[in-house]
Amino acid sequence: MTRVIVTGGSGKLGRAVVQDLAENGWEVINLDHVPPRSDSPAPFIQVDFTAFGQTLESMLGIDEQYSGVDAVVHLAAIPRPGLRPNAATFGNNFMSTYNVFAAARHAGITNIVWASSESVLGLPFDRKPPYIPLDEEVARPETTYSLGKFLEEQMAGVLTGRDPALKMIALRFSHVMDVPDYAPFPAFDDTPEVRKFNLWSYVDARDAAQAVRKSLEYSGTGFEAFIIANADTVMSRPNSELVAEFYPGVPYTAPDGPNDTLLSIDKARRMLGYEPKHTWRTEVTR
Domain of 82, in residue numbers: 3-282
Q: Say if pTM beats, i.e. exceeds, 0.85.
A: yes
CATH of the domain at 80: 3.40.50.720
pLDDT, tens digit, 9 for 90 and up, residues 111-170: 999 999 999 999 988 889 999 999 999 999 999 999 999 999 999 999 999 999 999 999
- pLDDT of amino acid 45: 96
pLDDT tops 80 at residue 240: yes
pLDDT tops 90 at residue 21: yes
pLDDT, tens digit, 9 for 90 and up, residues 155-214: 999 999 999 999 999 999 999 999 999 999 999 999 999 999 999 999 999 999 999 999
Report the pLDDT averaged over residues 85-101: 98
- For the chain, percent of residues with pLDDT exceeding 70: 100
Q: Binning pLDDT at 50, 70 and 90, where does residue 286 land?
A: low
Report the pLDDT averaged over residues 62-75: 90
Helix/strand/coil (H/E/C) assignment for every residue in the chain: CCEEEEECCCCHHHHHHHHHHHHCCCEEEEEECCCCCCCCCCCEEECCCCCHHHHHHHHHCCCCCCCCCCEEEECCCCCCCCCCCHHHHHHHHHHHHHHHHHHHHHCCCCEEEEECCHHHHCCCCCCCCCCECECCCCCCCCCHHHHHHHHHHHHHHHHHHHCCCCEEEEEEECCEECHHHHCCHHHHHCCHHHHHHHCCCCEEHHHHHHHHHHHHHCCCCEEEEEEECCCECCCCCCHHHHHHHHCCCCCECCCCCCCECCECCHHHHHHHCCCCCCCHHHCCCC
pLDDT tops 80 at residue 285: no
Number of domains in the chain: 1
